[in-house]
Amino acid sequence: LVKKGEPFKKAHGVVGELIKDSLKRAGGIQGMDDSELKKYSDKFDKREMESLRIFDPRVSVESKKSIKR
């Protein structure tokens, strides 16, 4: 979401809600269709998420960029 222009703080909250809700349902996030995902953010795209493996922890850590101070 941040890469699509969403402020980090808002994106963090959206993803937190998505994960919280997905833990209550069979199939988790992978079982959600595009319309369900769009309830959380119109920036979610099911096909893009699957191709980028966006919820893969290893991919997430590897894509993190930090500022050296």
What's residue 39's pLDDT? Answer: 94
User: What's residue 54's pLDDT?
Assistant: 76
Yes or no: say if 1 and 11 are a contact pair by the CB < 8 Å rule: yes
Q: Using pLDDT thresholds of 50, 70 and 90, give the confidence band for residue 69.
A: low
Give CA–CA dist 41/36, Å, rounded: 9
Q: Element (H or E) spanning 14, and its range? A: helix 8-22
Confidence bin at 40 (pLDDT 50/70/90): very high
User: Which is more confidently placed, 34 or 69?
Assistant: 34
At residue 52 the predicted structure's pLDDT band, cuts being 50, 70 and 90, is low
